C-alpha cells in the first residue's frame, strides 16, 4: 500500500512476511499460517466465535428459510436456510484503517 495502490495479500504473502519478520524458515512460516487458518476454520465450522483482540470477531450466523422472488420472472421462491460467516472489526482496527491513532 505504500505506493498508493491497494494490493491483495495472499497466503503466500503472509508466509513471506512471517519468514522475514521472525527469521524462521519458509517451511515453518507456512506451517504456522496453515495452523492458524485451520484453527479458525475448525472453530467456525463448530459454530464457535473467533475473537482476535485488536482485530475483530468472526462468527457463523444461521439464516432461516424465507420467501423471496426471482428478480427476472417475479415468481415467488423459497430461499433455503443456510449458515453465513460474518466479521465485525474491532474499534482498534477501524481506527487504524481510518488513520486514527488508537488510544492507549
Q: What is the pLDDT of residues 32-65, one digit of tens each?
A: 999 999 999 999 999 999 999 999 999 999 999 9
Cβ burial of 24 (10 Å; 0-12, 13-18, 19+) is middle
User: Which residue ranges does the chain devote to CATH 4.10.520.10?
Assistant: 1-48, 49-104
State the fold for domain 49-104.
HU Protein; Chain A (4.10.520)
Classify domain 1-48 by CATH number. 4.10.520.10
CA 73 to chain centre: 35
> Which of 86, 92, 85 is closest to 55 using CA atoms?
92
Looking at residue 99, the DSSP 8-state letter turns out to be T
pLDDT-based confidence at 4, cuts 50/70/90?
low
Q: Percent of the chain at pLDDT above 90?
A: 85
User: Does 27 have pLDDT greater than 70?
Assistant: yes
Question: CA 35, CA 6: separation in Å to the nearest integer?
Answer: 27
pLDDT tier at 7, thresholds 50, 70, 90: confident
- Report pTM: 0.75
Amino acid at each position: 500500500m505504500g505506493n498508493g495502490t491497494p494490493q491483495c495479500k495472499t497466503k503466500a504473502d503472509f508466509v513471506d512476511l512471517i519468514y522475514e519478520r521472525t527469521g524462521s524458515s519458509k517451511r515453518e512460516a507456512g506451517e504456522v499460517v496453515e495452523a492458524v487458518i485451520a484453527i479458525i476454520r475448525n472453530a467456525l465450522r463448530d459454530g464457535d466465535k473467533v475473537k482476535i483482540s485488536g482485530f475483530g470477531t468472526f462468527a457463523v450466523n444461521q439464516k432461516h428459510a424465507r420467501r423471496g422472488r426471482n428478480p427476472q420472472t417475479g415468481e415467488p421462491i423459497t430461499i433455503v436456510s443456510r449458515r453465513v460467516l460474518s466479521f465485525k472489526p474491532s474499534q482498534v482496527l477501524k481506527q487504524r484503517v481510518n488513520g486514527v491513532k488508537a488510544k492507549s
